[in-house]
Amino acid sequence: MECYEQSRQRAAFVVLLFIVMLGSQAQAQLRTDFYSDSCPSLLPTVRRVVQREVAKERRIAASLLRLFFHDCFVNGCDASILLDDTRSFLGEKTAGPNNNSVRGYEVIDAIKSRVERLCPGVVSCADILAITARDSVLLMGGRGWSVKLGRRDSITASFSTANSGVLPPPTSTLDNLINLFRANGLSPRDMVALSGAHTIGQARCVTFRSRIYNSTNIDLSFALSRRRSCPAATGSGDNNAAILDLRTPEKFDGSYFMQLVNHRGLLTSDQVLFNGGSTDSIVVSYSRSVQAFYRDFVAAMIKMGDISPLTGSNGQIRRSCRRPN
280 is in an annotated binding site: no
263 is in an annotated binding site: no
Q: Give the number of residues written for the chain.
A: 325
245 is in an annotated binding site: yes
Count the neighbouring beta carbons within 10 Å of the beta carbon of residue 37. Answer: 7
| Beta-ladder partners of 175 | none
Catalytic residues: 70
Give, rounded to a whole angstrom, the gap between the first and last alpha carbons of the chain: 54
Please report how many Cα atoms fall inside a 13 Å half-sphere around the Cα of residue 22, on the Cβ side: 9
Please report how many Cα atoms fall inside a 13 Å half-sphere around the Cα of residue 87, on the Cβ side: 0
In terms of Cβ atoms closer than 10 Å to its own Cβ (0-12, 13-18, 19+), residue 104 is buried
46 is in an annotated binding site: no
Whole-angstrom Cα Rg for the chain:
21
198 is in an annotated binding site: yes
190 is in an annotated binding site: no
Give the whole-angstrom CA distance, residue 136 versus residue 138: 5
What DSSP string runs through 10-27? HHHHHHHHHHHHHHHHHH
Give yes or no for a contact between 266 and 203, defined as CB atoms under 8 angstroms apart: yes
Please report how many Cα atoms fall inside a 13 Å half-sphere around the Cα of residue 45, on the Cβ side: 18
84 is in an annotated binding site: no
Residue type at 287? Answer: S
Name the residue among 160, 132, 133 with its Cα closest to residue 74.
160
Give the whole-angstrom CA distance, residue 306 versus residue 322: 22
Please, which residues have CB within 8 angstroms of residue 11's CB and are 6 or more apart in sequence?
Answer: none
Binding residues for Ca(2+): 71, 74, 76, 78, 80, 199, 245, 248, 253
- Binding residues for substrate are 168
Binding residues for heme b: 198
Binding-site residues, please? 71, 74, 76, 78, 80, 168, 198-199, 245, 248, 253
